[in-house]
């Protein structure tokens, strides 16, 4: 339980300032707020002394419709690297497969483990062109 208290002291917990601000705007200034719509992806990563834990939901949606109930959002990149992706599922899948293949070729040519900085450089170069 000590590690949870340690994390809370480092991160400060969830901040409710925007919720308070929205209520103030609604009550005092008569500003109408947008209705809450649940969208997007949930991806979480935790680091700890012995490694990393990644978790993600598996739904792929388009507006209010669920298009795929079993969408992979944690992608294998190399034996020591995984990548979490959100957004356009097909683009994310293609981009991570391409980068993973490039890392594999580099590992085979150099006989070394893939480095995260190499992956970041490759993805940055690819995505800036997009």
Catalytic site residues? Answer: 41
CA distance 119 to 96: 10
CA distance 102 to 44: 26
DSSP 63-74: TTEEEESS---E
Three-class DSSP category at 37:
coil
Closest to 107 in 3D by CA, of 82, 85, 79, 83:
79
**Backbone region of residue 5 per phi and psi (left: phi > 0; alpha: psi in -120 to 50; beta: other values):** alpha
């Amino acid at each position: 339980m000590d590690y949870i208290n340690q994390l809370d002291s480092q991160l400060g917990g969830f901040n409710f300032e925007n919720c308070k601000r929205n209520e103030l705007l609604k009550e005092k200034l008569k500003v109408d707020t947008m209705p809450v719509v649940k969208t997007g992806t949930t991806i979480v990563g935790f680091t700890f002394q012995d490694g990393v834990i990644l978790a993600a939901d598996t739904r792929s949606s388009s507006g209010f419709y669920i298009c795929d109930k079993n969408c992979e959002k944690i992608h294998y990149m190399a034996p020591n690297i995984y990548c979490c992706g959100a957004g356009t599922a097909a683009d994310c899948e293609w981009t991570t497969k391409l980068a993973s293949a490039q890392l594999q070729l580099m590992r085979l040519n150099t006989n070394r483990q893939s480095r995260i900085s190499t992956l970041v450089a490759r993805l940055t170069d690819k995505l800036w062109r997009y």
